[in-house]
Structure 1
Amino acid sequence: MRRTLVAALAAGVLALLTAAPSSAINTYNSAPAPERTEVGAFVGLYDRDGDGYLDRFRWYCSGTMIDDDTYLTAAHCTTGGLPDDRYFVSLEQDVQGLLDDYDAVNGPAPTEPAALQAYLETKTQYFLDQGWIVEGTPYQDSAYPGTSADSHDIGVVDFADWETNPQDVWDFTPASLPTAGQLDELGSRALDAAEWWTVGYGTSEALRGPGGHTHPGGGERLKALVDFNAINPTWVRLAMNASRGLGGACYGDSGGPNFVELDGELVLAATTITGDAPCYATNVAYRLDTESAREFLEPFVDLP
């Protein structure tokens, strides 16, 4: 994926593809989320090894539609691409299943670089023709990777200049963003009393086996109940301990939403960025009500 995370946050975080932190929904205490139609997978057709040939077509992060033509994700998901790389969003429930079904009928994929690129380009076009993905343009906060105090780890995929946007393909209601400083105004006691949900497409929590941890699965939209732990000027920390009936985030969920229920409405309070390496304990999410987050988002979306 050729992405990086702020050094202060990267300790203990594994790479999903080559050097990228990403998180996902655990298998314990989680469930499919077909009703969360505004949440989608970030999909790339890209040159992983920099040899001039496109060699991967897959999902690798999560995110949320925040208006008809803006998909919110993490900056570390949208940076590091090469000129020929292409980026897409899918709001399908099971993206990995669609990828697997295609390969089962049309595979195996060739290994020779030029032939593999041709195979993946044909596969990509098929997904476009089927309405399973929509192509867009990625942007990220110019201040990323920032500092541990504010990583500026926020990005979008924008469809404003493309002929097709996700609203043309899928039926969804964009997520509601928080107002400026809303989480601070509520305070820790109210945030702790509220219900929190994390949603995404990522892999499962670590399984121990010969050779160390593995993180199976991923590519299906799941949801899990999490619990408020702490807040600081740019981060929300969310507990996801299985023993408390909670689920949580793991690899492949970066950029995905963390909703808080306020007065009966789900508000997209923060996006998943990192957590503990085995995905057992903590989801660290980037707040969306801060001045820096809102300054980045303002050119793309009408803010509340």
Structure 2
Amino acid sequence: MISIAFTATAISPASPAQAITNGLPDLTVHPQVGAIIGDKPNDDGTWSYCTGTLISPTVFLTAAHCAEAGQKTAQVSFSSRYRPGDKVYTGRYVLDSRYKDESELHDMAVVVFGTAIPGIKPARLPTEGLLDRLEADKSLKTMRFTPVGYGAMVATKTKGKHRIRLTYSDTRHQTSISFEDLTRRWLKLSLDASKGDGSTCFGDSGGPNFLGGITSDLLVATTISGDDDACKTTNYDYRLDTPQARKFLKKFVTLP
């Protein structure tokens, strides 16, 4: 499962989150989750650099901060373990115009394909205010969430030095996380080891947080940021059931 390792400097609080830790290969459970593939390999020989989810036959939801300056297109693979030569789909990369580099607000983007992606059922999106209603009736407190993404897993943390050791394999992973808090824009998930929680970290940016167990396809938030260098404390995910998020999404898909 893990084949390549390298040492990376620590990330600062609330820096972009990018990979599943304490998780398992997703295999064919979430075929609608794909990886954004670079034009050339990363330094360690891997190719993926962000994650996203097919939300209609022609629309792939991801994060705005994944884009390079001036980037207009993106390549997406839905292989559970990407290898050079696997099928990729190229589409227009459209960022939420309200997004600013210095802010995590409106950190949304879509890749719009010219033709439908064959053989993959898109994820479902939430109705407006779904998470607010679940919080109001006290059921959100016991809910589980299933993040899915490509990228690294934290292998070790060098003692006394702000460094983490990561391994990348271009493989789609999933994990399970418990609920901690809800704000007007953010879903905060608590990584409680006693509950068997996993985490998101380097490689999962733009990826889905599904409401419910490991087979759920109800996408309620996208992975945006984590606040610790070892990806073991907490993570913040951008809610998709808010008026702000829906204002962007409805330009591209029909909302429930």
Query: Shorter-chain TM-score category?
Result: 0.7 to 0.9
Listed as ranges, the gaps of 5+ residues in structure 2 are: 1-10
Determine if contact 1:43/1:60 at 8 Å carries over to the other structure.
Answer: yes
Contact 1:43 / 1:59 at 8 angstroms: preserved in 2?
A: yes
Q: Which amino acid aligns with 1:74?
A: A
> What is the distance in 1 between the residues matched to 2:14 and 2:143?
28
Q: Tell me which moved more, 200-209 or 282-291.
A: 200-209
Paired letter, 1:203: A
Residue 295 (str. 1) matches residue 247 (str. 2) = yes
Gaps of 5+ in 1: 1-9, 15-20, 49-55, 100-126
Alpha-carbon distance in structure 1 between the residues aligned to 2:60 and 2:242: 18
Encode CA deviations 1:189-237: one digit per residue, 9 max, x unaligned: 2112222111000211251238631211241011101111100000001
1:3 aligned partner: none
Match of 1:190 among 125, 129, 139: 139
Structure-2 residue corresponding to 1:153: 107
In the alignment, does 2:218 pair up with 1:272?
no
Runs of 4+ that moved beyond 4 A: none
Residue 204 of structure 2: which of 240, 253, 276 is its match? 253
The alignment of Structure 1 onto Structure 2 pairs a total of residues equal to: 239
Query: 1:205-216 to 2 correspondence within 5 Å?
Result: 205=154, 207-209=156-158, 212-216=163-167
- Choose 1 or 2 for highest CA Rg: 1
Equivalent in the alignment of 1:88: 75
CA offsets 1:3-37 (integer angstroms, 9 cap, x no match)? xxxxxxx84356xxxxxx242111x2434342200
Contact 2:191 2:233 in 1 (8 A): yes
Query: Is the aligned partner of 1:140 residue 2:127?
Result: no
After TM superposition, the score normalised by the length of structure 2 is: 0.84
Cα distance between partner residues in 2 of 1:92 and 1:185: 35
Distance 1:218 1:190, change over 3 A: farther
Please point out which of 25, 38, 44 is paired with 1:44.
38
Alignment TM-score, normalising by the size of structure 1 = 0.71
- Taking the aligned partners of 2:26 and 2:51, their CA distance within structure 1 comes to 15
Question: Partner letter of residue 251 of structure 1?
Answer: F
1:206 touches 1:278 (CA, 8 Å); kept in 2? Answer: no
| Structure 1 counterpart SS, 2:61 | strand
Residue number among 42, 64, 68 corresponding to 2:57 in the alignment:
68
Aligned-partner residue type, residue 288 of structure 1: L
Q: 1:190 to 1:24 in 2, by over 3 A?
A: same
* Structure 1 residue 145: Cα displacement: 2.2
Asked whether the 8 Å contact 2:145–2:179 carries over to 1, the reply is: yes
Pick closer, same or farther for the CA change 1:252–1:81 going to 2, 3 Å.
farther
Task: Please say if residues 206 and 279 of structure 1, whose CA atoms lie closer than 8 Å, have aligned partners that are also in contact.
Answer: no
Higher relative contact order (CA 8 A, sep 6+): 2
Partner of 1:232: 183
Q: Percent identity?
A: 37
| 3-state SS in 2 of match to 1:178 | coil
Deviations 1:253-300 (A, max 9, x none): 0000001129x9541010000112211121210000111111111111
State whether residues 198 and 224 of structure 1, in contact with CA within 8 Å, keep that contact through their aligned partners in structure 2. Answer: yes
Aligned-CA RMSD value: 2.7
Instruction: State how far apart, in whole Å, the 2-side matches of 1:302 and 1:184 are.
Output: 21
Partner of 2:123: 175
| 1:147, distance to aligned residue in structure 2 (A) | 7.6
Report the CA distance shift for 1:89/1:176 in structure 2 as closer, same or farther (over 3 A): same
User: Whose helix proportion is higher, 1 or 2?
Assistant: 1
Query: What is the correspondence of 1:113-132 to structure 2 with a 5 Å cutoff?
Result: 127=85, 130=86, 132=87
Deviation at 1:58, TM superposition (A): 2.4
Residue type of the partner of 2:191?
M
Q: 2:8 is matched with which residue?
A: none
DSSP-derived class of the 1:40 partner? strand
* Distance in 2 between residues matched to 1:64 and 1:82, nearest whole Å: 19
CA contact (8 A) 2:20 2:174 kept: yes
Structure that is richer in strand per residue: 2
Decide whether aligned partners of structure 1 residues 73 and 82 sit closer, same or farther in structure 2, where only a CA change above 3 A counts.
closer
Does residue 223 (structure 1) correspond to residue 191 (structure 2)? The answer is no
> Is contact 1:236–1:285 with CA below 8 Å preserved after alignment?
yes
